[in-house]
Amino acid sequence: MMGRLGETVRERQGLAYYSYSALDADVGIGPWVAFAGVNPQNVDQAIDSILHEFERLGQEPVSDEELSDSIANMTGTLPLRLETNDGVASILLNMEWFGLGLDYLQTYQGRIKAITAEDVQRVAAQYLRTDAYTLVTAGPDPSEN
């Protein structure tokens, strides 16, 4: 289970050693970031592929399998985080910091399982904008070879 970017950019297209995205938010707004370990000759193609997947996410619903896998991942990792004192402290801190409420742990699974493919598409269309993004790359300039 590696997600859409890993499946497309790494597995299907063979452009990256790894590829994933995540929300890096705080109490206010924050960026949605994508990461990929890419051979310098494949950078432009990998960027195009990642942007295409972001666009596709807002244009068409995710598959039942993608949604099911994501829900299973999100609901399955929470109990694992509660296995250590550090994990419990981290979750309690997040509950307070983000104002999640004292019932957060009791309601988490139900709220995650209630997410629909249409919800994902609607939010992606609103927030994953490929017309306004910041691009950062690191590594050698392939045009200098």
Superfamily (CATH H level) for 3-144: Metalloenzyme, LuxS/M16 peptidase-like (3.30.830.10)
> Model-level pTM?
0.83
pLDDT tens, per residue, the chain with 145 residues:
568 899 999 999 999 999 999 988 888 888 889 999 999 999 999 999 999 999 999 999 999 999 999 999 999 999 999 999 999 999 999 999 999 999 999 999 999 999 999 999 999 999 988 998 899 999 887 667 6
Q: What share of the chain is helix, strand, coil (3-state, %, to 5)?
A: 60, 10, 30
Distance CA 72, CA 75 (A): 5
Q: What is the pLDDT of residues 65-95, one digit of tens each?
A: 999 999 999 999 999 999 999 999 999 999 9
User: What residues does each domain of the chain span?
Assistant: 3-144
- Which among 62, 75, 68, 67 has a CA at the least distance from the CA of 110? 75
Give the long-range contacts of residues 16-21, CB within 8 A, separation 24 or more: 16/42, 16/46, 19/46, 19/50, 21/50
